[in-house]
A and B are shown apart, each in its own frame.
Chain A
């Protein structure tokens, strides 16, 4: 005896024509006898048809300009990347989905701490033979060249990892500076482009850029500021793309 629950689990496949004949026959037989399941089947079919006939959604006219602006901004950012990063990105494409910078920095700090802990312990245990008692009971097999006095404590490994950590921690500031450079370059282009604009467009552009610059200034150092910088870059690129300046200079594609 097939239960309603079993049948209802198979309804999606049945209505999509995916059930084999014998299973389809079982479902059809149950639906003939069970008004409740018939209703569920009708509702599911109506829902499926409703979903299939949803009207397409037209993208806004600004989408293409936005895509072009972002591509241009990405290319400008590429141009400012150190050479080794471009090589790295080419050989490690998966890093495009790598953790975000803060996650990377946190991971780096944790990894540095873990390395420091692992490398610390053996050195501490090495210090124990340095005590006089330990020297006395030292096995005869110890080579003659083995030092009898405690070795100079090894340079802490954490010194090296500190450099890496400091480098990683400085990355956000470098990114902010890089964005600043891009903004300045785009501003230069915009200044030369705006000479051909109408007064109305100049005013609108100036107001928008001033607002975005304010947001950059207001945001404290860090991700919020970088987000504001990116918005400013997008706005500048949008204005330039409209004038086809970037396209004409071959920088877009």
Chain B
């Protein structure tokens, strides 16, 4: 049991942290591991163990947000461009700004970005975890990245030193 915990603790906690925020991440991660350990005997192997654990994580995180009245979400009207740091700060500042922008996205967008872009899962895996079609998954990812670009402001590439 402990081996499984250590194998997945970073990913589960990281996903929960980025979807529900720092203050509630531990509570969500605890809930996920309790569900995993209590449900392990009934796990039928319909999907990979990792897919099942990530699905539990995403569901627990989204349910947690729903219970808390989606207080972290903002609608389109709430999208405000984050102030750009000086060009010299580059990469380190971008990571912070990306985390801040991520926290401002609607929960569904956060989930797909975390699964696909941060955790590096394939569209097939994301679709299995989010229980949606692959096409929906791709379209959600596109919309989520577009929102992120809007939040981060123009010329992200120049600030991270991407070649023109």
Contacts and interface: CB of A to CB of B under 8 A. Distances in A.
A and B pair up: yes
Contacts of A56: 10, 14
Interface string B120-152: 100100000000000000100110010011001
Interface stretch (A59-67, A117-125, A133-141): A59-67
A13 B162 CA distance: 19
Given A60-B26, A63-B13, A63-B26, A47 B38 contact: no
The dominant DSSP class at the A interface is helix
Interface string B144-164: 010011001011110110101
A82 interface: no
Interface string A176-195: 00000000000000000000
Interface stretch (B46-54, B73-81, B92-100): B92-100
B107 interface: no
B109 interface: no
Interface residues of A, number: 36
A50 B94 contact: yes
B13 A46 contact: no
B61 interface: no
A55 interface: yes
Contacts of B10: 56-59
Given A44-B149, A47-B149, A9 B98 contact: no
Contacts of A18: 123, 138
Contact of A43 (B1, B9, B138, B156): B156
Nearest to B42: A93
A135 B135 CA distance: 69
B160 A50 contact: yes
Interface in A1-48: 9, 11-13, 18, 39-40, 42-48
Contacts of A62: 26
A46 B93 CA distance: 13
Contacts of A66: 26, 30
Contacts of A55: 95
Given A13-B138, A59-B9, A47 B120 contact: no
A219 B159 CA distance: 52
A83 interface: no
A47 B33 contact: no
Contacts of B25: 57
Contacts of B154: 39, 43
A54 B157 contact: no
